[in-house]
Structure 1
Amino acid sequence: MTSHKHAALIIVGHGSTTNPDSSAPTHLHAESIRRRGIFREVVCCFWKEEPNMREVYEMVDSEVVYIVPNFISEGYFCQQVLPRELRLDGPTTQRDGKTIRYCDPVGVHPNMTRLLIQRASEVAPDVPREQTSLVIVGHGTSLNENSTKAIQDQVALIRSGNYGFAEVLDAYMEEAPFVKDWATLTTAPNVVVVPFFIADGLHSFQDIPVLLGMREEVGEALSESGVFHQNPHHLQGRSIYYSGAIGTEPLMAEVILDQVHDFDARHSVNDKHSMPNDEVKSSLAYWLNSGLDELGEIAITTNADASYSLCHRADRGTEGLEIFRAATDALLIARNDASGAFRPLHTAPTLKRGWRLDLPSLEELRLALDFFYPAAIGMARALEQEKLSAVPLRDLLGRQTGMYRFVNTITDDQAHALIGRTCANTKCLRRILWPLNDTQPMTGPAASKTQPNHAPNAMPLLCIEACTHVVSAARKVARENHEAKEKAQTEVG
C-alpha cells in the first residue's frame, strides 16, 4: 500500500442507536489501519451514531481526505445518503481547501472473495470442500436492484475460481432464493453459511438462525446464549457451520485499503501535497496550558512528565480506580453506562465512573477525547476561529428521504417544542448552534439549549446539526399530523 502520510482516511459505517455491535467492526478496522501509519489521520463516522457525517470533517486537519464506505452494496446509502450527508459532488470534491475522494464501498471489491474463503475455512476447519455447500446470505430487498449484486458477484467469482466447493450459492432473507429453503437449495452433507453483512446484529444473531432452523423463534441473541460458536449444528441430516458476519473479519481492513489503492489507480492520483500543521492538536495543547482541564464529564490532568490522565470528573482525586493505558480504551469505557446499557449518545451525562485512562502523549489524548466526545475538539477550535458552520433545522429536515421524507412538514411551534422535549429527555450536554432556519432562531423550550452551558475551566461541547433523536421525533410528529389530517377529512366526508 502506497503511503498516504499527507492524507486522512474516513471510514463510514451505518451505526445504530440500539445495537452496540453495529459500529464495532468499523472502529476495529480503523484502529488496525491507524497502527500501520499509512495515513496521517484515520477516523470513523456513522449514519446513526456519533460522529455524524457533517461533524467528521472537524476531526481531520489533512488537506486530502479519502472516504471509504464500510457498506456491502452500491445501493441507496452509498449512492444517495452518503454523498448527500458528506456534501460530495462526485468521486472528487473540492471544498474548504480540501480534496475529498469518495471510494467505492468495501462489499463490491473483488478481494472480498478471499475473505469469504477464509471465513469458510475458519468456521469449518478440516471439512472437505468437495463435500461442502457454501451459502452466502444477504438481506435482499425489492427497493434497490444493487442490494443483491455484490453477493451475486462474489458467488460468480468463487464458482469460477475453482475453490473446490461442491456448490456455491446466494440466498436472502426477504427475496428468492430464500435462506429458509437452504435444505432444498443445497445438496452437500456439509453447509457453510456466511452472512454477507458488515456487522453482527439482529439479522446474523437472531433472524437468520431462525430461518435456518437453528432455533425455533427469535429470542436471546445467539452471541449471548453461547450457541453462536457451537458448530456444527445438525439439522435435516446435514451439518451446518454458521459464521459471523463477513464484515467482522480482520482482513476487512485490507479491503478498505484496496479501495483507496483502486481509487488512486482509476483516477491516476499522484499527490504532491505538503504536510499540514496539527492545528487541532495545537489548540488542545493551548487550552490545556490555559487551564481548561474538563470536557463534558471528563477531567484531564497534565502530569509532570507531559503525559496525561483522564477520569470521570466526579472521580477526580479518587484512589483505587481501574487503570487503562490506550486511547482506544476510551471506546470501551464510553460504550455502556453504569447499568451496562448502550450509550449511542456520547454527550448524554451517563458516562460511567470508576476508571482512569493514562496516556503518554498529546496525540493519544486527542484520539481518546474524540472517542469520548467525537469531533468536540475540532468543533471548538473551528468556533473559536469563526469557521464553524451550523446547519439550520429546516435544511436538515428538508434533505431527508425515504421513510423520513415528510419530517419537514412539522410546524415551527412543533419544532421548537420537540427540540426542547428531546434535549430534555436525553439531557444532552451539547450547546445548540443551529437556528430553525436562516432568519429565525430557536425559541420557546429550545432557546435555553442555545446558551453557553460549560464551566469556566471546560472546553465546550457543541451541536452543529440536529441529531438522529430530533429527526426521529420530527418523523413521529409529522406522522401524527398526517393521521389527524386524514381523520378530519374522513369525518368531513
Structure 2
Amino acid sequence: MNSHTHAALIIVGHGSTLNPDSSAPTHRHADEIRQRGLFREVACCFWKEEPSMREVYESVDSEVIYIVPNFISEGYFCQQVLPRELRLDGPVTQRDGRTIHYCDPVGIHPNMTRLLLQRADEVAPGVPRSETSLIIVGHGTNLNDNSTKAIQDQVRLISEGGYGFAEVIDTYMEEAPLVSDWHTLTSAANVVVVPFFIADGLHSFQDIPVLLGMESEPGKALSQMEVFRHNPIAMHGRSLYYSSAIGTEPLMADVILDQVHDFDAKHGISTAGIAQPPPDELKTALAAWLLAGRQVIGQVHIAEVGGTFTLRHLEDVSLPAEALTLYTCPSDARDIARNDAGGEFRPIKTAPTLIRGWRLQLPDLASLQLALEFFYPAAIGMALAHENGCLQPVPLRDLLGRQTGMYRFANGITDSQSGEIIGSFCKTDTNCLRRIVWPLDSSQPLPPPATAKLGHEAGQVPGQAPGQCIPLLCMEACNHIVSTARKVARENFESKATP
C-alpha cells in the first residue's frame, strides 16, 4: 500500500477488564505495522481497556487519522458504539482541525478468506481438504443482523470458490446452527473448527471447547496455558481439529492495511505529493518537561544520559542497575505493566500497582514516548492538551447519558451517589493515580468525597513534588465508573418499585 507517513493509524479493539488476551492481537498487529514505517503514528484504543476511544485522540499529533475497527463484523459495535464514542459523523469526519477516516472492520474484508484457508491448513497439516469439513464459528447475537453476515459471506466464498473442502458450514454459540451440534451438522472424517473471533479470549478458549465437548468445564485463559491445543482430538468417530481465533493470525496486520487502502480507493484519496507534517508536538513537550526536571510520571522515574533514557520504578531508583532485570524495547513496557506483583491483570494502568524490579533502557526520545504510552496510555497527550488549555473533559452526566444497551440507565444515580462512587473507586493511594478534570455536569463540579480527586495531590504518587511530575489526568470517567453507576442506578429503580 501507499505510504501514509503524514497520517496516524488508530486500531480499535474491544479489550477486557478481566482477560489480558483480549487486547493482545490488536497490540501485536499495531507493533507490526509500526515497524513497517508506513504511518507517522500507530496507536490502539479499546472499548474496555485504556486508552479509551475519547482519550486516544490525545495520543497522536497527526491532522489526518485513519481508524480501523479490529472487529469481525459490521454489527452493533461498529455501527453504533464506535461512531458514538469516537465522535464520528460518517466515513469522513472533520473536527478540531483533523480529518478522520473511518474504515470498515477487518472481518468483512475479502482477504479474510485467505487467512481462513491458511489457518485451516495449519491446524490440520497434511489432511486432505476433500476429507475435511470446515466449521467457522461465531458468537451469534440478536443485537444486529450483520453480526453473522461476515461469517456467512466467508462460508459462501469458500464453498463456491473451489477450495476443495468436503463441506463448509457456519455455526454459532447462541443461535442456530449451534456449534454444539457440530457432529450432526458435518459428515467428513476430519472436522476443522476455526473461531471467527479477534482474540483467544473467554469464548474461543473456554466456552467453545465446552460446547464442542472437548472440555467438561471452562479452562484457564490462554495466557495461563502452556499449550493451546493438541490436535487432532478423537470424538464421535471423527478427528476434530480446533484452531486458535482467526484474529490472532499475524497476517491480520495486512488486512488492516488492506482496509486503509480500500478506503482511499473508494473515496478517491491520494497520498502523492502530501506535505510532510511539522515536528511532533508530543515529543517536543516531553523533551521540554524532562529538561525542566519533570522526571516522574506515575510510578515511573526517567533518567537521561547522553540522549538515552533509563526508566525504573520510582521505588527502585536507589537500587544498583545489576539488581534489576534489563529490558531494551519500548513494547517491553506493555509487558511490565500488564500484571501486578501477584500476577493479576491490571486493566487500569494508572493503578498504583506497577511491579518493581526492572529497568528499561531506550535509545532515543521516540522510544521513550512509545514506552510511556504503554505504561500510561494517552497520558502525555492529555497533560500537554491540559497545559495548553485545549483538553476537552467530558462531564459525568454527559458520559452516562450517552450510554446504550444494558448501560442506558446508568445516569439514574443521584448527585451524592456520584461523589460516593468516585470517592470510593478512584482513591489515589490504592486504586488510581489520575487527577479528575471533568465536572458532574456543565454547571456543577463533582460533590464530596470525589473532590479529593480534583487537587494537584491527585495525578501523581503521593508525596511527590508537583514540579517533578508529569501529571496523570482523567478527562472522562472510565467504564468501571459506568458499570458501578449502572449497578447503583438499578438498585435505585428496584427500591422505588418495591412497595
Query: TM-score, with normalisation over the residues of structure 1?
Result: 0.97
Instruction: State the Cα distance separating 1:276 from its structure 2 match.
Output: 2.8
In 1, Cα distance between equivalents of 2:398 and 2:223: 41
**Residues 138-149 of structure 1: matches in 2 within 5 Å?**
138-149=138-149
Deviation for aligned residue 1:9: 0.1
Instruction: Tell me the alpha carbon deviations over residues 150-203 of structure 1, each in whole angstroms, 9 at most, x when there is no partner.
Output: 000011111121111111110000000000100010010000000000001111
Mapped to 2, the partners of 1:107 and 1:220 lie a distance apart of 26
471-480 or 267-276, which deviates more: 267-276
Residue-by-residue CA offset, 1:470-489 (whole Å, 9 max, x unaligned) = 101100100101110111xx
Query: Deviations along 1:74-128, whole A, 9 cap, x unmatched?
Result: 0110001000000000100011111000000000101000110111111110111
* Structure 1 segment 206-225 matched on structure 2, within 5 A: 206-221=206-221, 224=224
| CA deviations over 1:15-53 (Å, ceiling 9, x no partner) | 000000000000000000000000000000000000001
| Deviation string, structure 1 residues 290-343 (Cα, Å, up to 9, x no partner) | 11100000000001x210000101000312100000000011000001110000
Question: Is the Cα contact below 8 Å between 1:422 and 1:473 reproduced in 2?
Answer: no
CA distance in 1, matches of 2:288, 2:181: 62
Q: Is the 8 A contact 1:434 1:465 kept in 2?
A: yes
Runs of 4+ in 1 over 4 A off after TM superposition: 221-227
Q: Counterparts of 1:439-478 in structure 2 under 5 Å?
A: 439-453=443-457, 454=460, 455=465, 456-478=467-489
Shift of 1:143: 2.1
- Secondary structure of the structure 2 residue equivalent to 1:52: coil
- Structure-2 residue corresponding to 1:37: 37
Q: Distance in 1 between matches of 2:278 and 2:12?
A: 23
Count how many residue pairs are aligned between Structure 1 and Structure 2: 487
Structure 1 partner of 2:495: 484
- In the superposition, the TM-score normalised over structure 2's length comes to 0.96
Partner of 2:76: 76
Contact in 2 for aligned 1:61/1:276 (Cα 8 Å): no
Q: Distance in 2 between matches of 1:334 and 1:288?
A: 22
1:314 maps to: 315
1:270: Cα distance to partner?
2.0
Q: 1:55 to 1:241 in 2, by over 3 A?
A: same
Separation in structure 1 between the aligned mates of residue 452 and residue 223 of structure 2, nearest angstrom:
43
Shift in CA distance, 342/221, structure 1 to aligned 2, threshold 3 Å: closer
Taking the aligned partners of 2:230 and 2:72, their CA distance within structure 1 comes to 27
| 1:217 to partner: Cα distance | 2.1
Matched AA of 2:25:
P
Partner of 2:301: 299
Give the superposition deviation at 1:144. Answer: 1.2
AA matched with 1:287: W
Q: CA RMSD in A?
A: 1.2
Q: Give the equivalent residue in structure 1 for 2:330.
A: 327
One-letter identity of the residue aligned with 2:138: G
Q: Secondary structure of 1:276's match?
A: coil
2: CA distance between counterparts of 1:83 and 1:222?
A: 31
The code of the aligned residue for 1:460 comes to P
Maintained 8 Å contact 1:435/1:441: yes
Q: How does 1:280-291 map to 2 (within 5 A)?
A: 280-291=282-293
Q: Displacement of 1:134 after TM fit?
A: 0.5
Percent same amino acid among aligned pairs? 68
Task: Give the match for residue 431 of structure 1.
Answer: 435
2:337 aligned counterpart, secondary structure: helix
Q: Which amino acid in structure 2 is aligned with residue 365 of structure 1? A: L
Following TM superposition, by how much is the alpha carbon of 1:273 offset from its aligned partner in structure 2, in angstroms? 4.2
Provide the residue aligned with 1:339 in structure 2: 342
Moved more, 431-440 or 222-231: 222-231
Task: Say which of 279, 292, 295 aligns to 1:277.
Answer: 279
Q: Which moved more, 1:220-229 or 1:148-157?
A: 220-229
Q: Contact 2:21 / 2:223 at 8 angstroms: preserved in 1?
A: no
Q: Residue 16 of structure 1 contacts residue 22 of structure 1 at CA under 8 Å; is this kept in 2?
A: yes
Separation in 1 of the partners of 2:40 and 2:191?
A: 43
Pick which of 453-462 and 25-34 moved more.
453-462
Counterpart position of 2:257 = 257
The unaligned stretches of length 5 or more in structure 2 are: none
Query: What residue in structure 2 maps to residue 405 of structure 1?
Result: 408
Taking structure 1 as reference, are residues 273 and 395 closer, same or farther at Cα in structure 2, changes over 3 Å only? farther
Counterpart for residue 351 of structure 1: 354
User: Partners in 2 of 1:408 and 1:264 — Cα distance?
Assistant: 40
In structure 2, what is the Cα distance between the partners aligned to 1:439 and 1:112?
A: 49
**Shift of the alpha carbon at 1:236?**
0.6
